[in-house]
Amino acid sequence: MADVKEEVQAETEGEVALEAPPRGSAEELLDAEAGEPLDPMRHSAAHVMAEAVLDLFPGTKLGIGPAIADGFYYDFELPRTLKPEDLEAIAARMAASIKADHPFVRRELPPEEGRAFFEERGQPYKVEILADLAARAKAEGQPMPPVSVYEHGQFVDLCKGPHVESTGKIGPFKLLAVAGAYWRGDEKRPMLQRIYGTVWPTQEDLDRFLWRREEAKKRDHRRLGVQLDLFSFHDVSPGAAFWHPKGWTLYRTLENAMRELQAGRDYQEIYTPPLVAQKLWQQSGHWDLYREHMFLFESEGQTFSLKPMNCPESTYVYRSRVRSYRDLPLRFSEYGKLHRNELSGTLSGLTRVRHFVQDDGHIYLRPDQIGSEIEAVLGEVREAYSWVGLTPRLTFGTRPDKALGDPALWDRAEALIQEALDRSGAEYRVKLKDGAFYAPKIDIQVDDALGREWQTATIQVDLVMLPERFDLWYIDEEGHQQRPVAIHRAIYGSLERFIGVITEHFAGAFPLWLAPVQAVIVPIADRHVGAADELAAVMRDRGLRVEVDGSENRMQNKIRLAQGQKVPYMVVLGDREIDARTASPRTRSGEQQPAEPWDAFADRLAAESRERRAD
Ligand SMILES: [Zn+2]
Ligand SMILES: [Zn+2]
C-alpha cells in the first residue's frame, strides 16, 4: 500500500523537481546515490568544490553536496555573500585539486569519534545529521552504525559515497550559479549559499550541455507565456495558470483534438464533481497515503477534498447500472480539474502546479480484452504525439514485490501487455518491478527538440484498485458476476504540463494547427483595412484563426510584430492584391509564397490545419 502515494505522484508525470531541496531524513540528506551513471563523478566534483571553498573561506560551514540532474551543488554557510568573481577563484582551486589526482578514500569512524571529528572542525550541520541518524537508530532499537567519511587530499566529508577513484577522474566542469537555499529546505533554518556546477566526461559533452542550457533559457515557457500573451501566474493562486485568450485557444485546440480522436474510438465523455467527501478517499486508499497532498474543507460536519485524481469517481458511473460482457470495453474519458497541494516553494510554471486538467480515461474491460485495448491505446498515443512531432518512448513497469491481486492474473496481464507492445512496433524498455502495486503500467516519455526527456503520461492496467475496492462486476455469457479490469490512461497527461513541454519544444513557434493566431493580415494603408476584414471573414468561415492588424504601425513594424508573435502566416494587402483579390503569404520563417486567390489560400490553410502536422 505504501506505493499508492508514489503511484499517484508518478501519475502526474515527472513532477519531481530535480533540483528541489532535499527534505526529510538525515539519510536522504546524505544520499549521493541518485542512480545515474555520472552521479559518482558529479558528487565527487561537489566534494572538490567544498574543498576549494573551505580553502578560500576558512571557517565555512558545510551543508550538503549531492549530485543532481546534469551536475551537482553544495550548500555553504559563508562569512560573506559570494560574488561572480568568487566562482572563478573556486573553479581555479578545483582545477588544481583535480590535477593533483588525489585518491578518494573511504574510512569508517566509531560513532562518538565521528561526531567529535566534525565538532572539532566546526561543522554543526554535519553534527546535526549525525545526531539525527543516532536518534533514528535509537528509535529503531538499533546501534548507531559507524560514521562513514570520504577524504581526498586534506578534505574530509561525511558521506556514504560512492565516489570516483580519484579527483583526476573528474571531467571538464563549470560552475554555473549561486542561489540561496534554506538548510533542509526549512524556511525557519539558516539560509545557506548554494553553488551549482555541472561536470561531464568530455569537453564536447560539457559544451553541448552549456548550449542546451542557453537554448533552454530562451525557450523557457514561463518567459514565452508572457511574450506570446498565453498565460500568467499570480500570487493570489499559486501553482495555477491564468489563461489569456491566446493560451486558452491553444489549450482548447489540444483538448478538442483529443476529443475528436476519442470520439473515433468510441469513448464517452463524463464529468464528475471536483469536491468529494472524505469517505471516497478512504475507500480508494488515498486518505491514508495521499491526504497531505489534498486540499480539505469542512461543510456541515463533513470533510471534503478537491479531487487530486479522477479515478475513483468514474466507478460511480460504471456502477450506475448493471454491465454485461457485451458492454465492454466501456471507455469513459474525462477532462477532470484536479488539485494537489504541492508546497508553494516547489511550484514552477506549468510543469509543477497545484491545479491542472488531465485528459483522463478509464476503460473497463474483460481480462481477455487487455491485449487489444492496450494496442489501441498505444495507437492513440502514437497519433496524438505525431501532431506535435514527438516520438513517445515507452517504459513497461512490471509487478513489484508488494503487489496486490492474483499472481496468475498479473502474469497473464503482463504477457498481454508485452505482446501488445511488441505488436505496436513502439520502442519500449522494461523496468522490472516498477509497476504500481495494483497495476502493471506503461509510462510515456518524450525527448524534446533540445534532447531533454519529459515524462508526460501513463497507461495502467488496474487489476485491483478500482475493480476490487469499489466492487465492480459485469455479467458474463453464463450469467455469472465477473470482475472487470480497469485501464487508467492519460495521453497528454496534464494539459498544463504538456503545453509547457511543447511550448519549449517549439520555442513558441507552434505548428499551424495549434497556433493561437494562424495568420495575420497586414493592410498597407488605412484604405486597405476594409478588404483585410473581408479576407479575414473568408478565412474565419473555414474555421481559421485570423487577426487583422489595423493599427497605425508601418507595414514593416506590423510584419516584425507578427513574426515576434510567431504567427505562421502573414498576408500583406495593398491596392494590387485587393484588385486581383489575391493573397501573397509570407511564412514566419520569411519565405515569400506565390500569390493565390483568397478562396484557394483559405482552403489550403484550412486543409493544412486539419491535417495536424507538426511541421
Ligand atoms: Zn560524498
Ligand atoms: Zn485513474
Per-residue pLDDT tens over the stretch 194-211: 999 999 999 999 999 998
pLDDT in tens, 173-195: 999 999 999 998 888 899 999 99
Set 360, 443, 462, 549: catalytic member? 360
Distances (CA, A) of 382 to 110, 378, 425, 511: 57, 6, 11, 17
The stretch 45-61 carries a mean pLDDT of: 97
pLDDT tops 70 at residue 541 = yes
pLDDT tops 50 at residue 12 = no
CA of 45, nearest ligand number = 1
Q: How far is the CA of 343 from the centre of ligand 1 (A)?
A: 28
pLDDT tops 60 at residue 16 = no
Set 219, 246, 311, 355: catalytic member? 311
Which contacts qualify for 112-121: CB closer than 8 Å, 24 or more apart?
Answer: 113/147, 114/146, 114/147, 114/149, 114/158, 115/147, 117/147, 117/149, 117/156, 118/158
Q: How far is the CA of 287 from the centre of ligand 2 (A)?
A: 16
Q: Integer distance in angstroms from the first to the last C-alpha of the chain? A: 45
Distances (CA, A) of 281 to 4, 178, 375, 528: 12, 42, 31, 62
Q: Categorize the per-residue pLDDT at 26 as very low, low, confident or very high, splitting at 50, 70 and 90.
A: very low
Q: How far is the CA of 144 from the centre of ligand 1 (A)?
A: 20
Give the three-class secondary structure for 592: strand
Distance CA 459, CA 421 (A): 12
Q: Categorize the per-residue pLDDT at 285 as very low, low, confident or very high, splitting at 50, 70 and 90.
A: confident
Which pTM was predicted? 0.77
Distances (CA, A) of 239 to 30, 105, 345, 353, 514: 30, 45, 10, 4, 24
Set 163, 222, 286, 362: catalytic member? 362
Q: How far is the CA of 389 from the centre of ligand 2 (A)?
A: 26
Set 9, 193, 358, 565: catalytic member? 358
Query: 283 an active-site residue?
Result: no
CA of 286, nearest ligand number = 2
Query: 126 an active-site residue?
Result: no
Query: 460 an active-site residue?
Result: no
Query: What is the structure's pLDDT at 331?
Result: 98
Which of the pair, 423 or 545, is modelled with greater confidence? 545
Distance CA 337, CA 215 (A): 32
Query: What is the structure's pLDDT at 484?
Result: 96
pLDDT in tens, 116-148: 999 999 999 999 999 999 999 999 998 888 999
Q: How far is the CA of 148 from the centre of ligand 1 (A)?
A: 10
pLDDT tops 50 at residue 28 = no
* Under 8 Å between Cβ of 217 and 224: no
Query: 311 an active-site residue?
Result: yes
Set 43, 441, 528, 612: catalytic member? 441
Low-confidence winner among 161-175, 432-446, 541-555, 589-603 (lowest mean pLDDT)? 432-446
pLDDT tops 70 at residue 435 = yes
CA of 157, nearest ligand number = 1
The stretch 105-122 carries a mean pLDDT of: 94
Query: 358 an active-site residue?
Result: yes
pLDDT tops 50 at residue 25 = no
CB within 5 A of ion ligand 1: which residues? 159
Q: How far is the CA of 43 from the centre of ligand 1 (A)?
A: 6
Query: What is the structure's pLDDT at 184?
Result: 87
Query: What is the structure's pLDDT at 35?
Result: 60
